[in-house]
Structure formats: C-alpha cells, structure tokens
Amino acid sequence: MPKYTGTLRYSDMAAGAWSLVTDQGVVYQLTGGSGFVDGARAEVVGKIADDQMGITMIGDILKVERLQILA
C-alpha cells in the first residue's frame, strides 16, 4: 500500500476535516485513522478513495490504514 509523507493539518470548515499536505505540495483529505496532531510531520499508509468525495473539497480522499507521527 502506498506511503505519503507530509504535514497534518486540521480545517474547521464545515464539520471539520483532517488533511495531509505532502512534501510535494499535494493535499489529501484524510478519512479513518486516529491520533492526528495538527502541524505534525507524519507518514500515512493508505489508499486513494476514487469513489468518495468530501464536502470540504480540500483534495482527494485518502483512506488511512496506518499513521506514524514523525515529529
């Protein structure tokens, strides 16, 4: 399963949403998982959910299988 590394961000838009801003500047809305920390560097293992959309429209939805906080 693919790994994505970047910075976790929380948006209070709508009901609130977590995202990952990758080192390449790509933004993914995160679904599933737990232990998110706003501003933390993280490695996320997961799969892009091509069949889902989010109301925040931050980016493609990434279904989190595993999250590791790096710093």
Q: 């948006």: which residue's tokens?
A: 11
> 7 falls in which pLDDT band (50, 70, 90)?
very high
Q: Which domain holds residue 22?
A: 3-69
Decide: 57 and 42 in contact? Cβ < 8 Å: no
Question: What is residue 58's predicted lDDT score, i.e. its pLDDT?
Answer: 83
Check pLDDT > 80 for residue 71: no
CATH number at residue 46: 2.40.50
Question: Tell me, what's the pLDDT at 52?
Answer: 75
Number of domains in the chain: 1
The per-residue pLDDT for 28 is: 95
Q: Over the stretch 8-67, which tens digit does the pLDDT of each residue have?
A: 999 987 778 999 999 999 999 999 999 999 999 999 999 999 877 777 778 899 999 999
Q: What is the pTM of this model?
A: 0.89
Three-class DSSP labels, the chain: CCEEEEEEEEECCCCCEEEEEECCCCEEEEECCCCCCCCCEEEEEEEECCCCCCCCCCCEEEEEEEEEECC
Are 43 and 3 in contact by the 8 Å Cβ rule? The answer is yes
